[in-house]
Chains A and B, each alone.
Chain A
Amino acid sequence: MMKFVLVSMLLVRFLSAETIHKSEWIRPHKIPAPKDNPLTNEKIALGKKLFFDPILSRADNISCMSCHNPLKGWSDADKIAIGDKGQHGTRNTPTILNSAYQYIYFWDGRAGSLEEQALGPLSTHVEMNLDPKEAVKKLKNSVMYQKMFIKAFPKEGITTDTLAKALASFERTIVSGKSRFDKYMAGDKTQLTPEEIKGFSTFLNKGNCTVCHSGFNFSDQSFNNIGINNADTGREQIKKRALWHGAFKTPTLRNIINSSPYFHDGSVEKLEDAVSFCARGSRDKNGTVSHILIDKHLSKEDIGLIVKFLHTLSEPVADLSKK
């Protein structure tokens, strides 16, 4: 028992000393929003209604929630997203948690704002398969939506622009802050076990996982080719340069235990295997893998500790009744 207390004290001291810059790991309180779409309660309420409503799909059977399910960490449990008529897309569904704090969206970064992102899945034929203009027509037939849009956008009413703005406004409210890790960072040292703290230390130091998974959202918002070999060339499809070949946006690690399978192609099911894959570093023979990824020579124990730490990043299921 004495040994346990001593180890805990040492670990807490180690992590509270110069190795951790606390502010880096705490989400800024203020939720950012663009100047032309400031957050209002009316827009958030409208966005929430739209987000859960299958009216935005061609067959009235898929909503944004179908892939971004709050019970599944605002993602889904499918390898590849399933859309209109049961069709499969090509990539795994990323979570929308903390999307307010991002600069670029989708695995390949093809959208430069949340408003632009919000309409993407509507028009994609393997997702909701509904042109936003057709969505506007459908919404105009609803008295309820007519009222809600007028309340949220008194001068504009229902347009593709206001539809995007409303969805983006709701998405901006989906933020982190209630995980055990957040409570620990806020000062409650009882939230993490000594093993989880050791896991965080391994994550930071030996694993050097922060080379990509940095900051409160555990993502550097950059693009890396981590060596998954498939035909999807990722960011190179958007920016036609060799640097981006096979590169995909670094996903957040928040709610990671709820969002299996992992990586842009959903090719890895177990979290242990995903951590192990990244820790092994560069493995691509044609030299396109990001050079920052090097073999960390992590032991099975190290991997286990990191996984234990990652469990602490889970948020409780969102209480949507309060929004």
Chain B
Amino acid sequence: MKRIILVILMTLTPMMAQEEPDNPFLGDDNFPMGYSLLADSMPNFMHIYMKGGGMHKLDLTQAQEEAIEEVFATRPRKVMKAAREIKKLETKLVLQVIDEGKNAKDVKALLDQIAQKRKEMTVMQIGCLSIFKKTLTKEQYQVLRKMAIEEAEDL
């Protein structure tokens, strides 16, 4: 039985991979945050917390660390899943417009679906920002805010 499942899986894996065409017009893929509704205009506090020593600069208590990291243990999986779905839908839309000549009316349903998914991503992002506001002291929050501004200025 195990062997049969293995053979089926081995046969299906390359087929499954082929089902997802690449978007040839996509250059620098800012994955996953580029798939949010507000991809560039909202800070990503979790990124600042996790990278470049952010978590150390905030000087958190253990309880604060736990509150933030508990979210991080589950949230990215959901964000990644949503971003993958959006990327797939967007690739589909782009190829339909560019290669198949479909117009805005033809792709309306797909467009609405993408907008809805992007909104869902952004809701998750806002939820993440709220955790920091709720968990950090005023002073710590200002440090984080300042780091976010510095990061935005660097880009």
Contacts and interface: CB of A to CB of B under 8 A. Distances in A.
Given A21-B155, A24-B154, A205 B77 contact: no
B154 A21 contact: yes
Contact of B69 (A24, A103, A241): A241
A215 B151 CA distance: 12
A292 B29 contact: no
A112 B60 CA distance: 13
Nearest to B20: A297
A292 B29 CA distance: 13
A243 B29 contact: no
A24 B151 CA distance: 11
Contacts of B56: 103-104, 112
Contacts of A112: 56
B51 interface: yes
A227 to B, nearest CB: 15
Given A214-B51, A243-B69, A291 B28 contact: no
B127 interface: no
Interface in B47-82: 50-53, 56-57, 65-66, 69-70, 72-73, 76-77, 79-80
B77 A287 contact: yes
Contact of B57 (A103, A291, A294): A103
A104 B53 contact: yes
Contacts of A287: 77
State the majority secondary structure of interface residues on B: helix
B147 to A, nearest CB: 13
Interface residues of A, number: 26
B154 A242 contact: no
A301 to B, nearest CB: 16
A241 B70 CA distance: 8
Given A23-B154, A221-B53, A291 B31 contact: no
A243 B52 contact: no
A257 to B, nearest CB: 25
A259 B60 CA distance: 34
Contacts of A208: 29, 31
Nearest to A295: B17
Interface string A292-310: 1010010000000000000
A88 to B, nearest CB: 30
30 contacts: A19-B28, A21-B154, A21-B155, A23-B154, A103-B53, A103-B56, A104-B56, A112-B56, A204-B28, A205-B29, A208-B29, A214-B52, A215-B52, A220-B50, A221-B51, A221-B52, A222-B51, A239-B69, A241-B65, A241-B69, A241-B70, A241-B73, A243-B69, A243-B72, A243-B73, A287-B77, A291-B76, A292-B76, A292-B80, A294-B31
**Nearest 10 pairs of A and B residues by beta carbon:** A103-B53, A291-B76, A220-B51, A103-B56, A243-B73, A243-B69, A291-B80, A222-B50, A221-B53, A222-B51
Interface of A: 19, 21, 23-24, 102-104, 112, 204-205, 208, 214-215, 220-222, 239, 241-244, 287, 291-292, 294, 297
Interface of B: 22, 27-29, 31, 50-53, 56-57, 65-66, 69-70, 72-73, 76-77, 79-80, 154-155
